[in-house]
Amino acid sequence: MPVHALEVPTPLADRRSAGKLLAEGLESLAIDSPVVIGLARGGVPVAYEIAMYCGAPLDVLPVCRITAPDSTVTIGALADGADPLFEIDKTQVRRLGVSQQWIADQVELHLESLERCRGLWRGTGISLPLRGRTLIVVDDSLATGCTARAALMSLARRQAERLILTVPFANPVALAGIQTLADEVVCLSRIAANCSAGYLNDGPVSDGEVSELLMQAADRPQL
């Protein structure tokens, strides 16, 4: 898995600023007729700028991060699809002593969240045909790598030809953990600590913003 780290100085203003820089960085790769996939919610503003720059269609993949009880520590992630994919961090589960019942309850809860997102965003460009396509998979950071792993495994099931993971900021340890899942990775900067420190404005992305960006992308002629 080649990693193309552009090592852009941080912090950046926001996610859309990061997307514009990533779009320029992708020019060095030979990418033919890609589909840009934003991991919702945070990855969608980044992905929007890449799709606009490339003249490519924009799709969205809802992914839910699952944390340990009374903690912000990620223990797994759930990626949407015909058969939603659950990726678990077994090391963290063992270290924190998280019960299988807690995990099962959280998966059920987040499946309902994915279904809600599907209803919100249906008709705004979701479910483009991906078989045999090059996918530029975009998140707003790669901290633990759990959500990216779930997303990449889910998209591989749809028989994409090439998976390019594209993130503004990536933890080197997390990068090592996904090296067998992506064909290439493009990032602006490798940050060993908190990836969110790469933005001046790291506020949450709303459902409304996701829907608006998807509709704007769908209305724009593609190259």
Condensed to tens digits (0 to 9), the pLDDT of residues 79-106 reads 998 889 999 999 999 999 999 999 999 9
Instruction: Return the top range by mean pLDDT from 44-53, 112-121, 124-133, 201-210.
Output: 44-53
Taking a C-beta distance cutoff of 8 angstroms, is the pair 187, 8 a contact? no
Residue 70 located in a structural domain: no
The whole-angstrom separation of Cα 78 and Cα 114 is 9
Query: What is the amino acid identity at position 46?
Result: V
Confidence (pLDDT) at 122: 62
Residue 136 located in a structural domain: yes
Residue 182 located in a structural domain: yes
Residues in CB range of 120: below 8 A, 6 or more apart = 207, 210, 211
Burial class (CB in 10 A: 0-12, 13-18, 19+), 97: exposed
Confidence (pLDDT) at 221: 65
Mean pLDDT, residues 193-222 taken together: 84
Number of structural domains in the chain: 1
Domain, as residue range, for 15: 3-63+128-218
Residue 202 located in a structural domain: yes
Residue 177 has pLDDT above 90, yes or no: no
Six token digits for residue 41: 């919610």
What's the CATH code of the domain at 156?
A: 3.40.50.2020
Closest by CA to 61, choosing from 119, 120, 127, is 127
Residue matched to tokens 């600590």: 193
Please tell me whether the overall predicted TM-score, pTM, comes out greater than 0.75 for this model.
Answer: yes
Residue 75 located in a structural domain: no
Residue 126 has pLDDT above 50, yes or no: no
- Identify the H or E element spanning 48: helix 43-54
Residue 74 has pLDDT above 50, yes or no: yes
